[in-house]
Amino acid sequence: MPNCKEVARLIASDELAAAAWSDRALVRLHLLMCRHCRGYAAQLRAIGAAARDQADLGVVDRAAFEQLQSSILERCIDASDVNVEDGRDRDPEPPAEQTDPR
């Protein structure tokens, strides 16, 4: 039977899922009998949930997001469309398939 320290470490490291089923069963049994470890697991769950809530609150406003997205798209498409007809931004490295006939 694992002790509290071992159970706490398995829970906090997320290594329980990868443990052998017999170990998982022993941990489950321990948790059934030990309210301290149950409390510990519940605290870690509350911490994770709080982090998720905070992250969702931290999302930038719609307008700022749209602006950022268009700016990124502009830069990315600029970087990709180097061969378009106006030819103002020629890629310094020619595409690989245009091999130099020699």
Report residue 66 CA to chain centroid gap.
22
The DSSP output letter for 28 is: H
Q: How far is the CB of 26 from other proteins (least distance, A)?
A: 14
- Rounded to the nearest 5 degrees, what angle is found at the Cα of 94, between the Cα atoms of 88 and 92? 55
Q: Which of residues 27 and 37 has its CB atom nearest to other proteins in the complex?
A: 37
Contact 31, 3 (CB under 8 A): no
Contact 47, 14 (CB under 8 A): no
Residues that bind other proteins (CB under 8 A): 3-6, 8-9, 12-15, 17-18, 35-40, 42-56, 58-60, 64-65, 68-69, 71-73, 75-77, 79-81, 96
Q: How far is the CB of 91 from other proteins (least distance, A)?
A: 10
Q: How far is the CB of 20 from other proteins (least distance, A)?
A: 15
Q: Which of residues 25 and 83 has its CB atom nearest to other proteins in the complex?
A: 83
Q: Which of residues 39 and 89 has its CB atom nearest to other proteins in the complex?
A: 39
CA-to-CA distance for 50 and 44, rounded, in angstroms? 10
